[in-house]
Amino acid sequence: MKKKILAYLLILFPIFSLGLVKADTEKTKYVIASDSSFAPFVFQDSSNQYTGIDMDLIKAIAEDQGFEIEITNPGFDAAINAVQSGQADGIIAGMSVTDARKETFDFSDSYYTANTILGVKESSTISSYEDLNGKTVGVKNGTASQTFLNENQSKYGYKIKTFSDAASMYDSLNTGSIDAVMDDEPVIKYSISQGQKLKTPIAGTPIGETAFAVKKGSNPELLEKFNKGLANLKANGEFQKILDKYLASDSTTTTSTADETTIWGLLKNNYKQLLNGLGITLALALVSFAIAIFIGIIFGMFSVSPYKSLRLISEIFVDVIRGIPLMILAAFIFWGIPNFIESLTGQQSPINDFVAGTIALSLNSAAYIAEIVRGGIKAVPVGQMEASRSLGISYGKTMRKIVLPQATKLMLPNFVNQFVIALKDTTIVSAIGLVELFQTGKIIIARNYQSFKMYAILAVFYLVIITLLTRLAKRLEKRIQ
């Protein structure tokens, strides 16, 4: 009997493990990363849904080939990073096929051909590359346009300013802090057709074909499905329909919404999105602060411990975390570590952006809280500890009954302060593509260019929420005191 069971297991195991391997290599759901604003390829429509040639195309291909997709729109640079670190399986973002990119990406068949082109304000006198001497040209980080600018910088003598998203780039052009932008021709031409007061004085330069991409060597079946689906859509006319929907001169799809020129209009159209962003911001701040208090108190206690080794551990923790900018810490956790694990194990191990953001914020606040705890305990005169110990009371008991109650009162205002800082720091974490309140605002601006009003709305949101929370914390503080 036992032998029989063993034989079954021996036969079933390879079949079972084959099944596992298959499940691992051939997913049924893929995460696709894209730009946050790159009309007509990808942009938000009036109901805040992502739309555009790329969005329609990938959805149509997924349907044609029978796989599910989840789309994220963190911006071009972040989307590239997401694919490289295994956070996403593929990228579709009007992405140009370049030789340099072929080293790290596998590309699908092309579905468009684009030039890069210079855009200037309508009133600008720039009419050739030579006119750019001494001027500043804006470009999105990680793009083919950036490569073009880098390669020609010494020839024409311009300065380059890189941006993480289109909204801030076009805003800077509008407000005059840069003199020109370099972006894909269909994108600039589309924004002009939507009423942007820009012009393109110089003919575009080819930067290559536009295609879908996966990380080199991974998800080959996704690439194959994309190519098959694209061929089918081209054959049945669907692809042309998608192009016409966004590019034909009588196209009705627009990026601008009815009334987004007033504060009231902006709030009315976007309040759901803003409240969502606010929810994420609050969740980030509260969850990370709760974890930070826990870790911070532990390291704070370590720092006043009679044991040298504990004091050393605490010192190293505080020095390391305080010495690394929060944005780098978040990028390291979100992109760096999964990339490193993959290089070791060959397995993609993406981490969720909210989790990565929470870890970064928790560690950051914990380092400062550890210092607050140390300061609070140190502020209680040493004589009290000595007197208590000489009476034969243990270190732990003296800490708990005599030192900590006094220290806590001293620490409380600093805790409130640290919480406000943590809440504001959530905006920094948006760099990894997390759509909290600030990122939500930037996405809205990318659609309507109302930066003055939108940033004012964001500022008021933060002001109100921080004032309310500090009032509440002050009350709690009084009660404890």
User: Which residues of the shown chain bind ligand ASN in the complex (CB under 6 A)?
Assistant: 35, 38, 76, 93-96, 140, 143-144, 184
Q: Which residue, 213 or 385, is less far from ligand ASN as judged by CB?
A: 213
Q: Within 184-219, where are the H helices?
A: 185-193
- Beta carbon nearer to ligand ASN, 51 or 303: 51
Q: Which is nearer to ligand ASN, 183 or 371 (CB)?
A: 183
Least distance (Å) between residue 80 CB and ligand ASN? 9
Cα distance between residue 33 and residue 86, in whole Å: 11
Q: Which residues have CB under 8 Å from 369's CB, separation 6+?
A: 292, 293, 295, 296, 297, 300, 415, 418
Shortest Cβ 102–ligand ASN spacing (Å): 13
**Cβ(106)–Cβ(213) below 8 Å:** yes
> Which residue, 431 or 458, has its beta carbon nearer to ligand ASN?
431
Output the DSSP codes for 406-442: HHHHHHHHHHHHHHHHHHHHHHHHGGGT---HHHHHH
Token pair belonging to 81: 């990073």
Specify which residues 138 forms β-bridges with. Answer: 161, 181
- Residue 164: CB minimum distance to ligand ASN, A: 11
Contact (CB, 8 A) for 156 and 205 = no
Rounded to the nearest whole angstrom, what is the least distance from the CB of residue 98 to ligand ASN in the complex? 7
Q: 240: buried, middle or exposed (CB in 10 Å: 19+, 13-18, 0-12)? A: exposed
Strand partners, 96: 210
Cβ neighbors of 294 (< 8 A, separation 6 or more) are 366
Q: Considering the complex, state which of residue 108 and residue 362 has its C-beta at the smaller distance from ligand ASN.
A: 108
Residue ranges of alpha helices (H) inside 157-235 are 166-174, 185-193, 220-235
Q: Which is nearer to ligand ASN, 93 or 188 (CB)?
A: 93
Using the minimum distance from each CB to ligand ASN, give the nearer residue, 95 or 404.
95
Minimum distance from residue 45 beta carbon to ligand ASN (Å): 18
Q: What's the closest the beta carbon of residue 177 comes to ligand ASN, in angstroms?
A: 20
Rounded Cα distance, 93 and 108, in Å: 13
- 238-247 and 53-65 are packed helices; what angle lies between their axes, rounded to 10 degrees? 160
CB of 144 to ligand ASN, least distance (A): 4
Smallest distance, ligand ASN to C-beta of residue 140, A: 5
Q: How far is the CB of 185 from ligand ASN (least distance, A)?
A: 10
- Identity of the residue, 76 or 368, whose beta carbon is nearer to ligand ASN in the bound complex: 76
- Whole-Å CA distances, 204 to 145, 183, 351, 384: 11, 10, 39, 77
Indicate the length of the chain as a whole number: 481
* Short-list 11, 13, 169, 7, CA closest to 77: 169
Cβ–Cβ < 8 Å for 14, 53: no
Nearest to 360 by CA among 343, 396, 387, 336: 336
For the bound state, the minimum distance from the C-beta of residue 143 to ligand ASN, rounded and expressed in Å, comes to: 3
- Give the number of other CB atoms < 10 A from CB of residue 168: 17
The nearest distance, CB 129 to ligand ASN, in angstroms, is: 19
- The secondary structure of 69-93 as a DSSP string is EEEE---HHHHHHHHHTTS-SEE-S
Q: Identify whether the C-beta of residue 210 lies closer than 8 Å to the C-beta of residue 95.
A: yes
Rank residues 107 and 415 by Cβ distance to ligand ASN and give the closer one.
107
Give the nearer residue to ligand ASN in terms of CB position, either 143 or 288: 143
Residue nearest to ligand ASN (CB): 143
Q: Is the dihedral of CA 53, 59, 65, 70 positive or negative?
A: positive
**Closest CB to ligand ASN among residues 54, 425:** 54
Whose Cβ is closer to ligand ASN: residue 93's or residue 278's?
Answer: 93
Closest distance of CB 116 from ligand ASN, Å: 7
